[in-house]
């Protein structure tokens, strides 16, 4: 067992991390609900994206350290980096699994064929989606890390893909951040894109979850565990991201769009459809997770994960 002063220190550190996390959420909300648009005339698209990814990444780092050790955080970041870059580059070169596409020059510097800002998206939104999924399936204690690895990976993949479903039509068709070789029915986005997101994120979560489960096979020291407020904060971040997308849609300007294949769309129709999609996917998911979070104790002092009772499923 850890000495009492170690547990107290961990709890104190987590309190500071939570405070910092709420500050980042407030900054991200301010950015999403007006600041980004106010600075659009002085900041280019790459810089605006860089600032948004910096806020999301800061939240990822602060919040993840409330439960994970540096080794575990590093493992998640590494899996996100390798898997996302592998599959995105495969799609650019060979059309699998997202469908053939390429990024516009406005997305900034690249690692091979993919903007390097793509990786922080997978890490930060991937982490938030993973956290929300843990709440949804009641897997919020460290002793659960060896249980329901497959279920957690599947649910997290859908939670993350909800974000893509709610935004890609805007990113692709309106913002022209990237272009598909063969535009599809979702306002220019092909169905293969969403199948690719499910596959890629499932592999990310599955690989990390399996690694984390294997880590618990050895006798690890007892660790204090985060209580309800920790998980509610991750849900809040997911909800703020959703609400930020809705605000963008409601305030977007109306104009006609013609894709290279001749398909025409009206931006107002896309914005309205993405608003409804966000409400009935991401926002509903956040509400459901918030309800489930009420079952988590307010404070959990410590738990031993050396001998978990459940096995992966």
Distance in angstroms (rounded) separating the CA atoms of residues 224 and 303: 6
* 272: in domain: yes
Q: Walk along the chain (313 residues) and give the pLDDT tens digit of each residue.
A: 444 444 444 778 888 999 999 999 999 999 999 999 899 889 998 999 999 999 999 999 999 998 888 999 999 999 999 999 999 999 999 999 999 999 998 888 998 899 999 999 999 999 999 999 999 999 988 777 888 899 999 999 999 999 999 999 999 999 999 999 999 999 999 999 999 999 999 999 999 999 998 876 654 555 567 889 999 999 999 999 999 999 999 999 999 999 888 899 999 999 999 999 999 999 999 999 999 999 988 876 554 444 444 444 4
- Residue 216 has a pLDDT of 65
Distance in angstroms (rounded) separating the CA atoms of residues 137 and 142: 14
Which bin fits 187, alpha (ψ -120 to 50), beta or left (φ > 0)? Answer: left
Provide the 10 A C-beta neighbour count for residue 125.
22
Distance in angstroms (rounded) separating the CA atoms of residues 146 and 213: 4
* 311: in domain: no
Domain limits for position 161:
4-303
* 186: in domain: yes
* 312: in domain: no
* 78: in domain: yes
Distance of CA 27 to CAs 34, 217, 251, 270, Å? 11, 40, 20, 27
Distance of CA 114 to CAs 41, 56, 57, 111, Å? 26, 19, 18, 5
Concatenating the DSSP letter of every residue in the chain gives: ---HHHHHHHHHHHHHHHHHHHHHHHHHHHIIIIIHHHTTTTS-HHHHHHHHHHHHHHHHHHHHTTTS-HHHHHHHHHHHHHHHHHHHHHHHHH--SS-SEEE-GGG--EETTEETTHHHHHHHHHHHHHHHHHHHTT--SGGGTTS-HHHHHHHHHHHHHHHHHHHHHIIIIIS-SEEESS-BTBTBB-HHHHHHHHHHHHHHHHHHHHHHHHHTTS-PPPEEE--HHHHHHHHHHHHHHHHHHHHHHHHPPP-EEE-TTS-EEEHHHHHHHHHHHHIIIIIHHHHHHHHHHTTS-S-EEEE--SS-S----
In this prediction the pTM is: 0.91
- Residue 267 has a pLDDT of 97
* 277: in domain: yes
Residue 105 CA, distance from chain mean position: 24
* 59: in domain: yes
- Residue 4 has a pLDDT of 41
* 313: in domain: no
Q: Output 252-256 pairs: Cβ under 8 A, ≥24 positions apart.
A: 252/170, 252/174
- Residue 222 has a pLDDT of 56
- Residue 279 has a pLDDT of 98
Number of domains the chain is built from? 1
- Residue 302 has a pLDDT of 54
């Amino acid at each position: 067992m850890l000495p009492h002063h170690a547990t107290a220190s961990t709890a104190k550190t987590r309190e500071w991390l939570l405070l910092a996390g709420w500050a980042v959420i407030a900054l991200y909300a301010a950015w999403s609900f007006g600041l980004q648009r106010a600075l659009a005339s002085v900041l280019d698209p790459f810089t605006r994206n860089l600032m948004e990814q910096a806020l999301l990444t800061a939240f990822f780092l602060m919040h993840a350290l409330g439960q994970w050790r540096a080794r575990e955080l590093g493992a998640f970041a590494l899996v996100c980096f390798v898997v996302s870059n592998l599959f995105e580059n495969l799609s650019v070169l060979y059309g699998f699994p997202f469908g053939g596409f390429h990024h516009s020059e406005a997305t900034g510097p690249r690692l091979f064929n993919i903007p390097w800002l793509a990786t922080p998206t997978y890490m930060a939104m991937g982490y938030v989606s993973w956290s929300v999924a843990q709440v949804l399936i009641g897997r919020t204690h460290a002793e659960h890390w060896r249980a329901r690895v497959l279920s957690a990976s599947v649910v997290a993949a859908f939670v993350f893909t909800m974000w893509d479903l709610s935004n890609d039509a805007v990113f692709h068709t309106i913002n022209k951040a990237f272009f598909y070789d063969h535009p599809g029915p979702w306002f220019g986005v092909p169905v293969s894109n969403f199948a690719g997101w499910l596959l890629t994120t499932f592999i990310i979560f599955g690989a990390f979850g399996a690694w984390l489960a294997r880590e618990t096979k050895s006798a690890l020291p007892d660790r204090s565990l985060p209580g309800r407020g920790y998980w509610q904060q991750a849900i809040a971040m997911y909800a703020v991201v959703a609400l930020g997308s809705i605000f963008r849609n409601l305030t977007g300007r109306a104009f006609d769009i013609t894709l290279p294949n001749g398909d025409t769309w009206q931006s107002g129709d896309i914005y309205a459809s993405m608003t409804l999609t966000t409400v009935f996917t991401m926002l509903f998911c956040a509400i459901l997770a918030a309800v489930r979070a009420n079952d988590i104790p307010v404070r959990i002092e410590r738990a031993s994960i050396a001998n978990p009772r459940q096995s992966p499923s």
